Amino acid sequence: MDNDTRTLLNLTDLHLNFPHHWLKYKVIKNVRVAQISCTLSYTPRACPNCGVINRGQILKYGFYQAKYKYGQFRAQPLVLLVKTQRFQCPDCHTTFNATSYLFEKQRTISRDLRREVILQLTRIQTIKDIAHDLFISEASVQRVLLDLADQYKLNLNYLPETLCIDEFKSMRSAKGKMSFIAVDGDQSCLFELLEDRRLCSLFKHY
């Protein structure tokens, strides 16, 4: 893969090495998927488990195959098949894997695809539509949404002078069948969302 193609696909990690025939197509669930094969390997500076500096004692310990969903190109899903290097540290007797800033640990979608999911979540559309457009599962979209919710910390030390409240249909699993929404009427912005709109839950929360 040449540098221009790397830049186009944002596969700019220099630790990724691509074979001569790096692109293959495969039909998965009646969808033609482009599969990009590569190898992720390098010489680690230190052991991430015990912190010992690598002076040649950390050994390469084979490979394992990782698969990452990488979004789409020309309305066609992309999948990265990454042959990932494993290492063994003789000091703490543990193994660890090569990492890349393109991927998150224990995630099956790339960082680029996660950013695309976040962008889609800012628009008015359903989780099902986002999952369909990006060729991923609804559960993957929901996990990104939950991660964003965990990062958002409410300031519950005050109530706005004008508090606008209403109920709305959110999810089938919502308690009481309807959910609760509160808006800051002065700032015209969302103040809070609660799964349950029933008075017993509202009194308990506030």
Taking only the tens place, the pLDDT of each residue in 61-98 is 999 999 999 988 888 899 999 999 999 999 999 999 99
Q: Judge if 85 and 174 occupy the same domain.
A: no
Same domain, yes or no, for 63 and 147? no
**Same-domain status, 98 and 127:** no
- Verify that 25 and 89 share a domain, yes or no: yes
Q: Which residues pair with 60 in a beta bridge?
A: 87
pLDDT of residue 124: 83
Specify whether 193 is located in the same domain as 120. Answer: no
Whether 92 and 102 have beta carbons less than 8 Å apart is answered as no
> Which pLDDT score is estimated for 154?
65
Count of domains forming the chain: 3
Instruction: Kindly report, residue by residue over 27-38, the tens digit of the pLDDT.
Output: 988 889 999 999
Q: Domain check: are 66 and 123 in the same one?
A: no
For residue 123, what pLDDT band results from cuts at 50, 70 and 90?
confident
Computed from CA positions of residues 112, 114, 118, 120, in that sequence, does the dihedral angle turn out positive or negative?
A: positive
Question: In this predicted model, what pLDDT tens digit does every residue of 143-182 receive, in sequence order?
Answer: 888 888 767 666 667 788 898 999 888 777 777 788 899 8
94 in the same domain as 11: yes
Separation between Cα atoms, residue 81 and residue 101, nearest integer Å: 16
Residues 128 and 162 reside in one and the same domain:
no
Q: What is the distance between the alpha carbons of residues 45 and 123, in angstroms, rounded to a whole number?
A: 42
> Residue 87, Cβ neighbours under 10 Å: how many?
21
CB 48 within 8 A of CB 55: no
Burial of 96 by CB count in 10 Å (0-12 exposed, 13-18 middle, 19+ buried)? middle
Task: List the one residue out of 92, 31, 40 whose CA is nearest residue 63.
Answer: 40
Distance CA 66, CA 108 (A): 8
Range of the domain at 165: 158-205
> What's the pLDDT score for residue 68?
94
The residue ranking higher by pLDDT, 107 or 86, is: 86
| % of residues, the chain, pLDDT over 90 | 50
* CATH number assigned to the domain comprising residue 113: 1.10.10
Residue 34 and residue 91 share a domain: yes
Please name every residue paired with 184 in a beta bridge, in sequence order, or none if there are none. Answer: 163, 189
Any residues with CB less than 8 A from the CB of 101 and at least 6 apart, and which?
13, 111
Say yes or no: 179 and 200 in one domain: yes
Q: Which of these three, 63, 88, 103, is where a domain ends?
A: 103
Residues of the chain above pLDDT 70, percent = 96
Q: Nearest to residue 189, comparing CAs of 164, 167, 170?
A: 164
Compute the chain's Rg from CA coordinates: 23
**46 lies in the same domain as 77:** yes
Mean pLDDT for 1-24 is 92
> pTM of this prediction?
0.71
Residues 81 and 173 in one domain: no
Q: Given this model, what pLDDT does residue 72 score?
A: 85
